[in-house]
Amino acid sequence: MEVVVQITFGVIAVFILVAAAMVVSVRNVIHAALWLIACFFGVGALYMLLEAEFLAVVQVLIYVGAVSVLILFAIMLTRQITGEGVRQLTNRWPVVLAIATLLFATVLAPTLINQQWNVPPAPPLGTPEPIAGPAELGRGFVNEFLIQFQVVGVLLTVALIGAIVIAYEERARRRKVLTLAEELELKRLREQTSPTVPAPVEAEPVVQESRSASER
Amino acid sequence: MDWLTILIIVIQCFVITLAVTTAFAYLTLFERRILARLQNRVGPNRAGPAGLLQPAADAVKLFFKEDIVPAMADKPVYLLAPAVAVIPALIIWAVIPFGCLNLNWDYQACYDPARTNLWNILQITDLNIGVLYVLAVTSIGVYGITLAGWASNNKYSMLGGIRSSAQLISYELALGCAVLSVVMTYGTLSTHEIVTQQQGGLWGIIPQLLGFVLYMIAATAEVVRAPFDLVEAEQELTGGYNTEYGSMKFALFFMAEYIKLIAVSALAVTFFFGGWHFPGLDILGREVTALAGPVAGSIVFGIVSLGAFLLKVVVFLFISVWVRASWPRLRYDRLMDLGWKWLLPVGLLNLVYTTVVIILIPDRVVHSWVLFGLGAITIAIAIGFNRTPKPIDNVTLVKDIQLPN
Amino acid sequence: MFQLTDIPRLLPEILLLVLALLVLGSDILERWGRTPAAQLERVKSSASLTAIGLGMVLFVALLQSGYIYRLPETAPVNFFTNIIRNLQSGGPGGEPIAGAFATDHLTMIARLLIIGAALVTSLLCLDVRPSAHPGEFYALIIFSTLGMCLMVGANEFLLAYLAIELTSIPLYLLAGYFRNDPRSAEAGLKYFLFGAISSAILLYGMSLAFGAALNGVGSATNFNDLTRFDRIGTFTASSGGLITLAMLFIVAGMGYKLAVVPFHSWSPDVYEGAPTPITAFISTASKAAGFILLFRLLTKTFPAMTGSPTLDTAGGWTAVLAVLALLTVVIGNLAALPQTNVKRLLAYSSIAHAGFVVLGLLAWAAAQPFDREQGLTALLYYLFIYSLTNLGAFGALALIGQQTGGDDLTHLRGLSRRNLPLALLFTVCILSLAGIPPLGGFFAKFYIFMVGWQSGATWLVVIAVVMTIVSLYYYLRLLKAMFIEPATDLTPVSLPRGIGAALAIAVVGVLVLGIFPNLILSVLERV
């Protein structure tokens, strides 16, 4: 059984690494997003291997089911970023490669090799289970990790506010939407009055940008 | 885990997959016949007696159709999309309890929340996070449609794909709220336990009337059925996301959609209508056990519970077809409005109701009926809100246009 | 375990949260409309609410700290003394709340510093206003302040990370708030990208530290408190390379937030593009909070690998910090020399100042306990003076930018003839940054050099002193532009009340604390 677990872990780990490498190396952004999803699935599988089913399912639910869908959605709504013809690397990539290899060889690899890996023995009977299931997790949230839980709430509120601030144009600044009939009518009227100067119809900026003085 | 258990699991998977695909085939016939009746037509009745061979004829046609891949399509993704669509629809069945046939030959174990001595072959696996599994699998169902829309390199498909991802994200939240309130009511994430706790006629719809209404609306939107089928609105998008798909690839999308419909109906039965429970079921089990021994008792119990479950599912499928025949499609902004401004707030409200009432009134029967009353009042108020369409103030009327000088 | 009696100890944070929600909510009740008058009214009311609210929170925190007035034990029992007694019962001291949030003197002092900085920033924002979403603008400042307050008290990895994010996310938004200005948008995006990467690095370091601690524990105990700094310190004391790696990652991640070289490349662009009051806020409060968190992390999580400031023993975080300090001081000052944009110049100057603060951190590794305490006091004193000065300098710059139309050196020309008081206030701030006696900047630098010298990092102090002399060149260039170079435009520059008040606070603070440092040192020494 131990061997099976080891092999499974190896397969999943290689899969995650390959997927992650593909995310940054494929040119097509949608394909990159798909590899990212594959990578998330791999992480979920790792959780499963650790017998943390709750985390595994939540990983799929949140990262695959929500985050990646939003990423795909954003890519689809953005025109012309399919990424074909975009250079993946700058001219200086050999330098970066050299530095990365050097750091890996001198810092990371020796550390990991020399580390005394101390596999914890099986816990004696009666020790409390580490937090894994939904019920214990919920209890942890309202007892030990109450402050952190509350801070997460504030943080998410802030993120929500931020998203609105970035995305939402106040109505006063929005471009007016005309129906087709109105546009035609407008065009006709404009041709009557000034056939040479087609000015765009935009809502007038209501207040001067307070920094307008500093804009060059 | 010996080889027999594994073999039984494999057989279960095979049987369920086959049963579900067959159910899909006949659901199409069912839908067409009922739609025809509702629209005062005849419907397909030529292939076989009463049209019963129609699904087979359709399948043969789809198998032998020429397989076309558009020249500019993104081929790997294009080919991947139907599979991605159909897999979640199939694996969601793993946690749904169809009935309770205990292979340890003791029908009473079905009612035991501790699940000792229970080997139920009418449910593939009883995860202790089954409900979350359902939510997770539903949430990945969107990829098939979205990717198909993108990979076809067709503007209609693309629009369908974008619509689908926006719609599914929006309604997933309301669906999650509805399901979570069920989880809170029963205090468990296991589907089997949710069903066992609904024993005795106090079905999930009583404490969770509001949750049920939300679930039905959100689930209909999740499986992109009418009146939320903007993803494949024929009048606007020709075929929607599957415009460029033909033959079996198209059939896979079709299959995914219908299997998901059956799955959400089965889940609705599980969560809100007592699953495989049926009034008098335990009496039946007891009497047959007394008459013919525990083996026969368990088998009869299992078969009857399966029958009850299927009957309930068929009722839901009929309702779905009925809705499709009756209601026009929503406009897209109304769809988003409904999801974000109505279902989600009401869903959150329902979570609050459930928490507060269950904490304040520990007695199950009383709090169920209190929740029922609260839910009914909330629904009445929500429906009672007369939404007069607001004049859209960012549209300029012709008479108001001021010309730039 | 969190208890209800812990609430007074978290009072400043709770009040900040309430204030932020109040600012957000009150915006709805304001007069809405498209007319400029209505918009202006809306902005102004949010701004004043923020300033007044932050002032009140600062007052409550001051009262709670008991540094200025401590209720005597023998005070009569009445309504007011009861309020004060209850407040001060939540003052500094006691075990960390739920093991996650330390409420010691360090937290209290840092809170005061941060809320004070936020107050001055909000005063600056009374006159430099956003054009859209005013309520959110001010609420984000307060949310960020809340994050910083949590950051300085964090005693646990999870809370530390969340606090960093709660600090950073509003700052990303604020840096890019003037979306119509491409530089501001660029600043927001750049800040966000760098911040996200640095968070990832930090998180990686944290998880490595957690893993190392778990590895050190060996057998199963309760894992849930293994994210606390001191627990990790205990269990990783004899651990090998893994914890070193974790330390490196954490220092690198925090280094990004603190903009020390070589992790500084985002800061000039962000400082230049962000709205100037926000630049002031980023360069002072968030840096101060970051340094205090770094201090806690290094001293509590990695006590076993301290090393020594004289660098006679190899390794330890002192070695890393020494290299960072050296690079920061040298590159920060040298890169400031050729700048022509005043904001960029001040950005490099604040990078250089971060290098001086790192010296104070180094002193914590000294052999003598006295030197260590001196090191922390010097660090805090430096942070106080630096924050005041930088707020003043950027505040003045905000006004200049708003009224002269830019923040290049050329826009400073002849400022003394256009508005002498403003020029003088700005001059005081710049001289304090340069470290000219008798201003606070001089004493702060002197103190930190002294501490550094005593603890043994002599070579670094020598380099820092040389670089201070180099820095005089670019600071004096600013003065030359203001006082000597001819003005291209002689229209007078007005000094509005909000910025005037902020500048006055900064300059008075720098002067008073510079001449009478004992006023604040007596408080700082309690840490």
| Backbone phi, psi, residue C341, to 5° | -90, 130
Encode pLDDT of B104-139 as tens digits.
Answer: 777 777 777 777 777 777 777 777 788 888 888 888
Residue C390: name the closest of C447, C351, C341 by CA: C351
Cβ contact A–C (≥3 pairs, < 8 Å): yes
In 3-state terms, what secondary structure has residue C176?
coil
The CB density around residue B340, as the number of other CB atoms within 10 Å, is 14
- Alpha helices in C126-181, H assignment, sequence order: 134-153, 157-175
CA distance B337 to B330: 11
Contact A210 C224 (CB under 8 A): no
Q: Which residues pair with C341 in a beta bridge?
A: C408
Q: Which amino acid is at B294?
A: P
A198, with CB counted inside 10 A (0-12, 13-18, 19+), is exposed
Q: Is the previous residue joined to C262 through a cis bond, with omega within 30 degrees of 0?
A: yes
C186, with CB counted inside 10 A (0-12, 13-18, 19+), is middle
Which H or E element spans position B276? none
| Cα C148–Cα C153–Cα C159 angle in degrees, nearest 5 | 80
CA distance C167 to C151: 8
| Interface check B156 vs A, CB under 8 A | no
Contact C219 A123 (CB under 8 A): yes
Q: Tell me the CB-side half-sphere exposure of residue C340, using CA atoms within 13 A.
A: 3
Q: Which amino acid is at C395?
A: G
Best of A99, A148, A149, A208 to substitute, by most chain C Cβ atoms within 10 angstroms, is A148
Tell me the pLDDT of chain A averaged across its residues.
76
Contact A61 B139 (CB under 8 A): yes
CA distance C230 to C248: 18
The radius of gyration computed from the CA coordinates of chain B, to the nearest angstrom, equals 23
CB contacts < 8 A (A, C): 153
Q: How far is CA B189 from CA A135, B116, B180, B359, in A?
A: 10, 17, 9, 19
Best of C158, C201, C214, C394 to substitute, by most chain A Cβ atoms within 10 angstroms, is C158
Indicate the pLDDT class of residue A214, thresholds 50, 70 and 90.
very low
CA distance C239 to B64: 67
Contact A158 C150 (CB under 8 A): no
| Interface check A111 vs C, CB under 8 A | yes
Encode pLDDT of C39-85 as tens digits.
Answer: 788 888 888 899 999 999 999 998 888 888 787 877 788 888 888 88
Dmax of chain A from CA atoms?
91
| Backbone phi, psi, residue C97, to 5° | -70, 125
Indicate the pLDDT class of residue A213, thresholds 50, 70 and 90.
very low
B107, with CB counted inside 10 A (0-12, 13-18, 19+), is buried
| Cα B73–Cα B254–Cα B249 angle in degrees, nearest 5 | 35
The answer to whether residue C168 scores a pLDDT higher than 80 is: yes
Domain residues for C471?
A: 4-166+287-524
Nearest chain C residue (CA) to A125:
C220
CA distance B384 to B398: 35
Tell me the average pLDDT across C332-354.
90
Tell me the average pLDDT across A48-58.
84
Tell me the average pLDDT across C358-382.
84
Packing angle of the helix pair A29-49, A2-25 (nearest 10 deg): 160
Residue B271: name the closest of B186, B200, B194 by CA: B194
| Interface check A146 vs C, CB under 8 A | yes
In 3-state terms, what secondary structure has residue A192?
helix
Residue A139 pLDDT: 82
Q: How far is CA B87 from the centre of its chain?
A: 15
Indicate the pLDDT class of residue A152, thresholds 50, 70 and 90.
very high
Indicate the pLDDT class of residue A43, thresholds 50, 70 and 90.
very high
Residue A82 pLDDT: 56
Q: How far is CA A110 from CA A17, A117, C203, C244, in A?
A: 21, 13, 22, 12
Indicate the pLDDT class of residue A205, thresholds 50, 70 and 90.
very low
**Residue C306 · residue C435 · CB < 8 Å:** no
CA distance C137 to C177: 8
The answer to whether residue B391 scores a pLDDT higher than 60 is: no
Instruction: Give the closest of B138, B165, B404 to A73, CB-based.
Output: B165
Tell me the pLDDT of chain C averaged across its residues.
86
Indicate the pLDDT class of residue C191, thresholds 50, 70 and 90.
very high
Tell me the average pLDDT across C295-306.
84
CA distance C220 to B335: 52
Contact C178 A211 (CB under 8 A): yes
Residue B25 pLDDT: 86
Per the listing, tokens 């005070």 go with C75
Shortest CA gap A92–chain C (Å): 18
What CATH number has the domain spanning A1-85? 1.20.120.1200
Residues counted in chain A: 216
CA distance C5 to B402: 64
Q: Which residues pair with C228 in a beta bridge?
A: C156
Residue B187: name the closest of C239, C284, C304, A138 by CA: A138
Nearest chain A residue (CA) to B166:
A73
Indicate the pLDDT class of residue A204, thresholds 50, 70 and 90.
very low
Instruction: Give the closest of A60, A70, A133 to B140, CB-based.
Output: A60
Encode pLDDT of C140-161 as tens digits.
Answer: 999 999 999 999 989 889 999 9
> Higher confidence at residue C282 or residue B302?
C282
Residue B20 pLDDT: 87
| Interface check A90 vs C, CB under 8 A | no
How is chain B split among helix, strand and coil, in percent rounded to 5?
A: 70, 0, 30
In 3-state terms, what secondary structure has residue B57?
helix
Instruction: Give the closest of A111, A116, A143 to C1, CB-based.
Output: A143
The answer to whether residue A203 scores a pLDDT higher than 50 is: no
Residue B402 pLDDT: 66
Model ipTM?
A: 0.89
> Higher confidence at residue A200 or residue B65?
B65
Shortest CA gap A185–chain C (Å): 26
Indicate the pLDDT class of residue A209, thresholds 50, 70 and 90.
very low
How is chain A split among helix, strand and coil, in percent rounded to 5?
A: 65, 0, 35
Q: Residues of chain C with pLDDT > 90: what percent?
A: 28
Contact B150 A176 (CB under 8 A): no
CA distance B332 to C408: 51
Long-range contacts of A138-143 (CB under 8 A, 24+ apart): A140/C224, A143/C1, A143/C2
Nearest chain B residue (CA) to A189:
B403
Residue A84 pLDDT: 61
**Residue C150 · residue C13 · CB < 8 Å:** yes
Best of A131, A211, A215, A216 to substitute, by most chain C Cβ atoms within 10 angstroms, is A211
| Interface check A156 vs C, CB under 8 A | no
Count of domains observed in chain C: 1
Per the listing, tokens 């139920």 go with B120
pTM: 0.86
Encode pLDDT of A108-127 as tens digits.
Answer: 887 777 777 666 555 555 55
Residue C366 pLDDT: 78
**Residues B349, B355, B360, B366: what is their CA dihedral angle, to the nearest 10 degrees?**
80
Residue A211 pLDDT: 43
The answer to whether residue B204 scores a pLDDT higher than 90 is: no
Tell me the pLDDT of chain B averaged across its residues.
83
Q: Give, rounded to a whole angstrom, the gap between the first and last alpha carbons of chain A.
A: 70
Shortest CA gap A11–chain C (Å): 22
Residue B140: name the closest of B61, B83, B55 by CA: B83
Q: Which residues pair with C101 in a beta bridge?
A: C97, C154
Shortest CA gap A195–chain C (Å): 31
Encode pLDDT of C460-478 as tens digits.
Answer: 889 999 999 999 999 988 8
| Backbone phi, psi, residue A132, to 5° | -140, -45
The answer to whether residue C417 scores a pLDDT higher than 80 is: yes
Indicate the pLDDT class of residue C312, thresholds 50, 70 and 90.
low
Does any domain span residue C101? yes
Shortest CA gap A69–chain B (Å): 7
CA distance A152 to A146: 10
CA distance A148 to C324: 31
Which of B23-27, C198-202, C225-229 has the largest mean confidence? C198-202
The first and second tokens of residue C286, run together, are: 């968030």
Which of B5-9, B112-116, C209-213, C346-350 has the largest mean confidence? C346-350
CA distance C270 to C197: 16
Q: How far is CA B29 from the centre of its chain?
A: 19
E-state strands within B220-305: none
CA distance C126 to C146: 20
CA distance C106 to C246: 25
Contact A66 B169 (CB under 8 A): yes
The answer to whether residue C19 scores a pLDDT higher than 90 is: yes
The CB density around residue C224, as the number of other CB atoms within 10 Å, is 16
Tell me the average pLDDT across A59-74.
86
The first and second tokens of residue B118, run together, are: 């229970």
Shortest CA gap C100–chain A (Å): 8
Contact B394 A73 (CB under 8 A): no
A131 backbone φψ class: left, alpha, beta (φ>0; ψ -120 to 50): beta
Q: Which amino acid is at C446?
A: F
Q: Is the previous residue joined to A123 through a cis bond, with omega within 30 degrees of 0?
A: no
Contact A76 B168 (CB under 8 A): no
Does any domain span residue C486? yes
The answer to whether residue A151 scores a pLDDT higher than 50 is: yes
Q: A128 to chain C: which residues are within 8 Å by CB? A: 222
| Cα C237–Cα C238–Cα C244 angle in degrees, nearest 5 | 75
The answer to whether residue C167 scores a pLDDT higher than 90 is: yes
Residue A86 pLDDT: 64
| Backbone phi, psi, residue C68, to 5° | -95, -45
Q: Is the previous residue joined to C438 through a cis bond, with omega within 30 degrees of 0?
A: yes
Packing angle of the helix pair C440-455, C458-483 (nearest 10 deg): 170
